[in-house]
Amino acid sequence: MALAVLLTLSVLPSIPQNTVMMSGPGDPNQMQAYQLMQQAMGKLQSKDARGAKPLLEQAVRMWPAMPHVHYYLGFCHNDLGEYALAIPEFQQAIQSDPQRVDCMINIATCYQSTGQPGEAANWYERYLQQKPGSPRAGQIKSLIPALRTQAKKLGATGGGPPGAALTGNQTEPDYFSSILIGGKSRRWLPRKLPLKVYIANGINELQVAVAGFKPDYNYILADAMNTWLNASGNRLAVQYVTDPSQADIAFFWTDNPNFYAAMGQIEQGTAFRQEQELPDGSVEIVRASVTLLINDRNGGGALNNTQMARACLHEIGHALGLAGHSMNPADIMFYSELANAQPVLSERDQRTISRLYQNYPQLRR
């Protein structure tokens, strides 16, 4: 299923004092604000956004017009998951320096993270208008259609303002309505249980070894599956098999970042379901195949265990019948990747899978 990839933010280097024009050499407030910004930069480089935040906030109060400080404060808010607060800081950074076009990517990713895909697409398009030859242009062009699709599902064209309250199914106890296609849910039928599951040991669908594969990924995937089984109220169960031709759900790996680009989408994983409509109008899942990309799409090398766990949970959700996406960033089935999200199912995730299989008997495992 299409999962809108979140691009990494652009980061500026430390700012030399001679590039920051002060109103006068004897202005103590401006000098102190500059020093606070430099201290904050050191903390950001050490991945200590929480420690950098109060320093940057104090620097802004002392010198609101200081170049670069709004950018760093926006980056700080983003790193802490405070996306709605980051947006106006990045916008202020562009206002202070219109050449800082890369901030448009930062704004777009923040809108993605707050569940406003239409506004995210708007900012990505603005970036492409300014930098059509950017090395990121191809990736962004592939991302925009997925965002527009999500915006259309929301019935919106641009999303709300920064900090806007979650609306619609985002605040409901579950997001069951969002997983329906044509008003119909997708389920594995009871006669298929326990589901036969195959996990490829570091190979792709062509049985070719995947460079950079970590054996830990197999255990992370199995643990993610177990998490969903528990969330179903033990109404689903699996049996692991060693032959993919015998599997109901087959999992494979890839190190090719363009493995799905031919269909105009870029994502961390894909889940394809083979389905059939039954005489009573319900839809049965017949088979599913999942491919997981082991590499960070933004050039960060192989995924760490936390990143892989999030990807596994998301794609397993699709394979088990959660055909759509949530628009709430707290849910593992959120439509877009989040850099700081934890690999856990939210209460809404759990209630949605439980509701999907609520009429099934509990199974012994």
DSSP for 76-110 reads: HHHHTT-HHHHHHHHHHHHHH-TT-TTHHHHHHHH
Q: pLDDT-derived band of residue 160, with 50, 70 and 90 as boundaries?
A: very low
Residue 126 lies in a domain: yes
pTM higher than the cut 0.85:
no
Lowest mean pLDDT across 20-29, 227-236, 321-330: 20-29
Residue 122 neighbours by CB distance under 10 Å: 22
- Per-residue exposure over 101-118, b if at least 16 CB sit within 10 Å of its own CB, e if not: bbbbbbbbbbbbbbbbbb
Rounded Cα–Cα distance for residues 67 and 90 (Å): 12
Residue 170, pLDDT above cutoff 70: no
Residues 179 and 141 in one domain: no
Residues 148 and 261 in one domain: no
Residues 146 and 188 in one domain: no
Residues 247 and 325 in one domain: yes
CATH of the domain at 336: 3.40.390.10
Query: What is the separation, in whole angstroms, between the first and last Cα of the chain?
Result: 29
Q: Residue 125: which domain range? A: 17-154
End residue of a domain, out of 123, 154, 185: 154
Residue 272 lies in a domain: yes
Rounded Cα–Cα distance for residues 58 and 64 (Å): 10
Residues 117 and 209 in one domain: no
Please tell me what DSSP assigns to residue 14: P
Residues 200 and 149 in one domain: no
Residue 325 lies in a domain: yes
Residue 363 lies in a domain: no
Residue 61 neighbours by CB distance under 10 Å: 11
Residue 160 lies in a domain: no
Residues 22 and 138 in one domain: yes
End residue of a domain, out of 109, 128, 154: 154
Residues 283 and 258 in one domain: yes
Residues 280 and 201 in one domain: yes
**pLDDT of res. 224:** 97
Residue 304 lies in a domain: yes
Residues 15-72 have pLDDT tens digits of 444 444 444 455 788 889 888 998 998 888 888 989 999 999 999 999 888 878 899 9
**pLDDT of res. 227:** 97
**pLDDT of res. 335:** 78
Residue 361 lies in a domain: no
Instruction: Dump the DSSP string for 51-72.
Output: HHHHHHHHHHHH-TT-TTHHHH
Residue 41 lies in a domain: yes
**pLDDT of res. 73:** 92
Residues 145 and 179 in one domain: no
Q: pLDDT-derived band of residue 3, with 50, 70 and 90 as boundaries?
A: very low
**pLDDT of res. 330:** 85
Residue 210, pLDDT above cutoff 90: yes
Residues 117 and 208 in one domain: no
End residue of a domain, out of 126, 154, 182: 154
CATH of the domain at 28: 1.25.40.10
Residues 55 and 82 in one domain: yes
Residue 205, pLDDT above cutoff 70: yes
Q: How many domains does the chain have?
A: 2
